[in-house]
């Protein structure tokens, strides 16, 4: 009874603290992710209030949090949407991967962490935070802007890449040999391709089977199916998160919409627990030694993300202002960077990788909303100063052009 009471007190205190932190973040209009990470640092070893009996339950909740994050991500897109984006925007995805993954890999190699850690840190610096970016777009009223579809296309390609990247990471972290690792990757890719094929051809039938007018039955079926598939994927040494992502892709229409509405509160709860769990496994004393590399990496990859968005928007025919807005919006890293780093922390390949990833995400999840808001006016100011004064006739033409263009920038 004593241990049960202590568990309820500890876990209740965690949930209450997360709720208050989330309310504080919402009041000042920024992402609660850094506050959740800081809460984990406070509750973990070396923190102010180390946990005891509730840590094991928090670990299970964190695993469910990752599964729900990827499931909800899959529900956002249909298989046909993913295939269409892959065909039309694949070049933007390649540029995104090259510009943003390579700095992370280079930093890991410079720190002497080895090739496996380099692949992990490449993923940490590559993937933008879909959750933070979606919130920022809504807060700034940019959902109807011409550059927003370009931003979403880049995010979709990153999310789709996770289905390939996570099995590779899982095989590398497991320390399997070349043959076993290749087999694991082949199984993962084959499963992903099979699910996409089934979703494209038979998605309506699957959704009709899962769909229900009773919210309770829909919730139980979708959640049970997701956990089952995630468990089977993990049993096959494929990431459970990939299995959840593929389940989300397979569902569409009313089933996907209903599941999204029902599971959103659960996703938010367990995702918050996941960020706390990641912080629990990071000693606050281990962050200062890696703070300088994390800051350098944040500066470099903020610049490469801005360049990615600018290039992708320019390729889509967006004007200069929209290009800068697209680049600044993509800077934020968050949940999936922590998911990737969490896999490495659990495997224990490099003790300093977790603290560096924590510091890196803390920096960019705070800086990201600022770059989304101020990159375009700052770039306009700087380019205006560097540009020579134009003749009166050119200035008048330019003014007419900008006036004509503005309604397209604002959106529908």
pLDDT tens sequence across 342-359: 878 777 788 889 889 889
Instruction: Give which of 59, 21, 2 is closest to 342, Cα–Cα.
Output: 59
Neighbours of 295 (CB within 10 A): 13
pLDDT reading at 398 higher than 50: no
Other residues' Cβ atoms within 10 Å of the Cβ of residue 87: 8
Token code pair at residue 53 = 């009996």
* Burial label, 294 (beta-carbon count in 10 A; 0-12, 13-18, 19+): buried
Band (pLDDT 50/70/90 cuts) for residue 310 is very high
* DSSP character at residue 284: G
Would you tell me how many other CB atoms lie within 10 Å of the CB of residue 52?
A: 9
CA proximity to 361, closest of 339, 386, 387: 339
List all residues 6 or more positions away from 69 whose beta carbon is below 8 Å from its beta carbon: 241, 267, 271, 274, 335, 336, 339
> Structure tokens of 309?
């968005």
Asked whether the beta carbons of 191 and 206 are under 8 A apart, the reply is no
Q: If pLDDT is split at 50, 70 and 90, which confidence band does 375 have?
A: very high
Mean pLDDT, the chain, integer: 80
CB-based contact 181:172 (threshold 8 Å): yes
Tell me which H or E stretch contains 152. Answer: helix 148-173
In angstroms, rounded to a whole number, what is the distance separating the alpha carbons of residues 318 and 304? 19
Cβ contact 58:276 at 8 Å: yes
Percent of the chain with pLDDT over 70: 82
Is pLDDT larger for residue 111 or for residue 44? 111
d(CA 392, CA 253): 55
Q: Supply the pLDDT for residue 110.
A: 94
> CA–CA separation, 412 vs 398, rounded Å?
23
Name which of 215-224, 366-375, 392-401 the model is least confident about: 392-401
- pLDDT tens by residue, 31-63: 787 888 788 877 766 556 666 666 677 778 888
Per-residue pLDDT, 49: 64
Yes or no: say if 339 and 318 are a contact pair by the CB < 8 Å rule.
Answer: no
**Is residue 402's pLDDT more than 50?**
no
d(CA 408, CA 318) in angstroms, rounded, equals: 9
Tell me the CA distances in angstroms from 361 to 243, 250, 272, one per residue in order: 25, 31, 15
DSSP string, 65-126: HHHHHHHHHHHTS-HHHHHHHHHHHHHHHHHHHHHHHHHHHHHHHHTT--HHHHHHHHHHHH
Predicted pLDDT at 9:
83
Which residue has 């840590």 as its token pair? 55
CA dist 257 and 222 (Å) reads 12
Cβ(326)–Cβ(310) below 8 Å: yes
The pLDDT tens digits for 125-138 are 999 987 778 778 87
């Amino acid at each position: 009874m004593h241990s049960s009471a202590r568990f309820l007190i500890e876990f209740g205190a965690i949930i209450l603290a997360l709720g208050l932190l989330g309310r504080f973040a919402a009041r000042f209009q920024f992402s609660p992710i850094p506050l959740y990470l800081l809460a984990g640092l406070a509750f973990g070893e070396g923190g102010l209030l180390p946990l005891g009996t509730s840590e094991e339950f928090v670990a299970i909740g964190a695993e469910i949090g990752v599964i729900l994050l990827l499931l909800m991500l899959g529900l956002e897109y249909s298989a046909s949407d993913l295939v269409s984006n892959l065909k039309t925007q694949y070049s933007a995805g390649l540029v995104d991967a090259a510009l943003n993954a390579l700095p992370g890999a280079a930093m890991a190699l410079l720190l002497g962490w080895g090739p496996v850690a380099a692949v992990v840190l490449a993923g940490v610096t590559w993937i933008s935070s879909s959750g933070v970016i979606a919130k920022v777009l809504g807060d700034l009223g940019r959902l109807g802007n011409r550059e927003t579809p370009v931003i979403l296309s880049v995010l979709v390609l990153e999310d789709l890449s996770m289905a390939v990247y996570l099995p590779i990471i899982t095989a590398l972290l497991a320390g399997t040999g070349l043959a076993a690792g290749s087999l694991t990757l082949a199984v993962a890719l084959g499963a992903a391709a099979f699910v996409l094929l089934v979703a494209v051809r038979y998605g309506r039938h699957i959704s009709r089977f899962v769909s229900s007018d009773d919210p309770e039955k829909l919730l139980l079926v979708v959640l049970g199916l997701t956990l089952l598939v995630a468990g089977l994927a993990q049993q096959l040494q494929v990431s459970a998160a990939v299995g959840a992502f593929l389940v989300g892709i397979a569902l569409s229409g009313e089933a996907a919409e209903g599941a999204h509405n029902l599971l959103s509160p659960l996703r938010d709860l367990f995702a918050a627990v996941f960020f706390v769990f990641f912080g629990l496994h990071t000693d606050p004393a281990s962050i200062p030694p890696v703070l300088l590399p994390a800051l350098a990496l944040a500066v470099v990859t903020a610049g490469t993300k801005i360049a990615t968005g600018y290039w992708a928007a320019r390729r889509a025919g967006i004007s200069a202002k929209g290009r800068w807005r697209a680049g600044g919006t993509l800077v934020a890293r968050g949940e999936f960077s922590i998911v990737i780093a969490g896999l490495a922390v659990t495997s224990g390949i490099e003790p300093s990788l977790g603290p560096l990833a924590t510091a890196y995400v803390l920096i960019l999840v705070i800086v990201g909303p600022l770059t989304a808001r101020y990159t375009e006016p700052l770039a306009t100011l700087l380019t205006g100063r560097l540009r020579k004064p134009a003749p009166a006739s050119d200035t008048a033409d330019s003014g007419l052009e900008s006036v004509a263009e503005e309604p397209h920038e604002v959106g529908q």
